[in-house]
Structure formats: C-alpha cells, structure tokens
A = this chain, B = another copy of it.
C-alpha cells in the first residue's frame, strides 16, 4: 500500500475526505487493492497526504459504512471481497436491463389512451371549472395562507381534520338527509382509496354484490383486492333483491339516488327491501355510493338511503369529484358506529391521505359559502347543458329512446343503427368525438340488448360543443357502411386523429 497515489484537489468543491474515499473505493473496485489487503492506518495516510487525521477518519468511516472495508479492532482496516458478489452480477445484468425496457404491451396503449383528448368528449367525468369558481378557490387558498398555516405540518388526524368533517357532515345532513356525526366520517383521497380501507375491514365473507352495469372503477377495485364480485341484474327500480338474497354476498354496492350508468332512481320500496336484506344477517352491509346527487334539475333531490337506515347497515360514500372537480381528490365515507371500531382497530394507524393544507383549503371553501354558491352556479350551467343535449337529441331519428335525464351529468341514448355499439364508438373517435358504449360498464354477460346504447356526459362541454358533437355522432350512426368505405375520408392513421394534450 506504500504506492497508494491520491491526488487531492484543495480547490475542488468535493470535500477532501470524499476525494480520498472515492480514490480508495475506485481502487478497490478496479482490483488495484486486493481483497484482504490492509489499508495504511488513518494516522499514516493523514501524514502522507498532509491532511488532518479527522479527514482520513471520515474517509475510512465512509468506506466502512458502505462495506468496502472492514475493521479489525487493534489491527486496522482490511479490504472486503466485494468483487465476487457484486461486480460480476453487475456485468450480466446490463443486457437484461435493456431487454426490460422494450415491453410496452397493452397497458402502454391504454395509458396513451388516457392522454388523448378529443374535440368533443362526452365524458361522464367532465366538469366545468369556471372563472367564478377559480376565483373563490383562490380566495380559500389565501384564507388558509392568512389564518390556517400554523400547525398544518404537524401530523394530522387519521380520519381527517375535525373542522372539515363537521362542515361536510352538516352539508350532508342538509342536502342529503345523511344522519351522522363527524366522528363517523373518514376523509380520503378518492373513492377507490376509501374502498381499499373498507377492504381491510372485511377479512371474512369477502363477496360483494354489484349491479350490472355499474361504476367500473369500483368493480375493478374490488376485483384487484381479491373480492368475489357477484353481478346482480337490475330492473327499472334497481338491484333485484331476490337475486341478491341468493347471491351469498354480505356486501352490496349500490347507487340508489342516481344509478351509474343507468341513471335510475331507486324507489322507497326497493330501498326498504334492501335495508331489510341487510338487517337479516349479522355482518351484512350496503355501500351507498352517492356520487353525483348534487345535480338534479327537476323535482327535489332524493334523500340518501343512509338517512332512512335505522339499523346502522349503510356505509355512505360521497365525493367532491363531481361537485367540485375530480382533481380535488377528496372523498368521504360515513361508517355505521359498529364499523367505526373495526376501522379504528385495523386502519386507524393510516394517516389521512389528504394533506392538511388541502383539507384546510376545502374547509374554507365550504365555510365561507363558496361551495354553496359554486353548487348553485354549477346547477344552472349543467341544467343548460343538459337541456341543450336533450334538445339536440330530440329530433334525431336515430335517437330511439333517452333516459337517465334530469339528474347527474350524463344521459343514455338508445340508438337505431345498423352498426354495433363498439363500431359506433370507434367511428366516432375517428371523427374526434368520444362517446361511451353501455357495454363498457356491463359486468355480467348480456343477452337481451337489442340496440346500441350510448352514454353521453355533458358536464365538460359547452352547449355549442354538445350540439356539434351530437351532429357528428348522427353522421357516424346514419352513414351507410359502403359509403364510409368508399370515401375513406377519415384515415385510420392514428397520428391524424389524435390530438395530444
């Protein structure tokens, strides 16, 4: 080791100890210093390099902590045999690494799908975010900056901030007839996250009944989490209770106030039958997803199922994704008291997934009345869009039947066409219009549907866009297949038809 050559750069921004460490480390890797070889003492090396002893101590400490050398008490530092274990495997890894990079697969395509944008997108998740709302949201942020930042970086309450939960509770009580105290509420970053918590609370009897068609993300979430999902057919009033009884499920996931995607409202009688089902056996619960009930354009809002449940068998789920915007990422869940204990025991250690800053912004947004005004304004805007869509569809020969109207943010249209549902959706995409087929939401084999059914969301489109989009849809639906083929007006080249965001 007498020949250990280390050129130190005093001017260099790298600390001296690090330069020493790096030299020796590289020499070990390159094999210039052999495994088992003893390094000079820190004292000797310090003298040799004319640096302080603490500098060489630091360098050796670093080598030691990274496992390049080991210390033999009373003797000194010896080089470890890292080569065998480590450098070789690094070698052959290289090729594997490159191979890995080249498997984009289906999901890559799906992912790109998400980033596509269409000129007219009848998405059910589209919402309007007006200048008005932006301004009031900014005011809420400023409110937080002025008043609420103190202590916002201390750990929060797992269920969510007390003041926010109280605001949401009183809103739910007034607007949705939900009966709850703030301590029954869990605030979380999106419905799917709250379902992940619920999942962990039910360790046995993991079979859930869902309507078909249903909200696809919830279905996918339960599948991912290893639940057995049983799809139950619907009649005009909702989930068929007789089928539910024979399903063996202990949980039922329903949307009684405005079923997605069918748009149906569950009448009181069916609600009572479902509550009765839940009450018949220990451990049965109903998940009520009340996703878009803020928006109702005719008649008064239908109160929540939770509000008429005396047994504590309804888990109520709500979200600000539609009432404010999906990007706000705040949902809430009201648990029956019985489940609250289970939640605390199993999931009480999870910190809230919504930051306290975010929760305080939302709190001010609600408390200062911005949320109420925002909702009122949105109801007017969405009603106009709803009316424009109904009007645009009304005189169309191909629009055989419309339903699910007067509430929420989408309607369903049964289409008279020689073309199939998927074909219409595909052809529309080529014309830069995104419509959604009912089939995309069906979770059990269908047999009876005679005609294609399209779901058209209007929350994110202006009235002009709605009219224009429906016009193009009509052309796609009514265009004869031969004509389409001969004209080839809309080439299939994807670069042509996709506008990236």
Residues in A lying within 8 Å of B, measured CB to CB: 17-18, 21, 58, 61-62, 64-68, 70, 80-82, 85-86, 89-90, 93-94, 96-98, 100-108, 110-111, 114-115, 125, 127, 129, 133-134, 137-138, 141-142, 145, 149, 152-158, 189-190, 192-193, 196, 200, 203, 217, 220-221, 224-226, 237, 265-273, 275-276, 279, 283, 298-300, 302, 308-312, 324-330, 336-339, 341-342, 344-358, 361
Contact = CB atoms under 8 A, between A and B. Distances in A.
A274 to B, nearest CB: 10
A352 B125 CA distance: 15
A271 B87 CA distance: 12
Nearest to A350: B192
Contacts of A351: 190, 192, 326, 329
11 contacts: A66-B267, A85-B276, A100-B336, A101-B342, A101-B346, A107-B348, A127-B153, A142-B145, A153-B328, A189-B353, A327-B357
A145 B346 CA distance: 38
A82 B272 contact: yes
A337 B101 contact: yes
A131 to B, nearest CB: 11
Contact of A94 (B102, B265, B267, B337): B337
Given A89-B311, A357-B358, 11 more contacts: A64-B267, A80-B269, A93-B341, A100-B283, A103-B338, A105-B344, A107-B344, A110-B349, A141-B357, A189-B353, A329-B354
Contact of A155 (B138, B224, B326, B347): B326
Contacts of A269: 67, 80-82, 85-86
A67 B308 CA distance: 13
Contact of A62 (B108, B158, B299): B299
A81 to B, nearest CB: 8
Contacts of A97: 310-312, 338, 341-342
Contacts of A190: 350-351, 353
B348 A65 contact: no
A163 to B, nearest CB: 14
A327 B308 CA distance: 36
A62 B300 contact: yes
Contacts of A58: 298-299
Given A302-B65, A326-B351, A344-B108, A100 B217 contact: no
Contact of A96 (B90, B265, B311, B350): B311
A345 B226 contact: no
Contact of A108 (B106, B341, B352): B341
Contacts of A326: 153, 155, 351
B324 A353 contact: no
A327 B358 CA distance: 10
A178 to B, nearest CB: 15
Given A67-B267, A358-B358, A272 B86 contact: yes
A142 B141 CA distance: 9
Contact of A134 (B149, B158, B298): B149
A328 B355 contact: yes
Contacts of A193: 189, 193, 196, 353
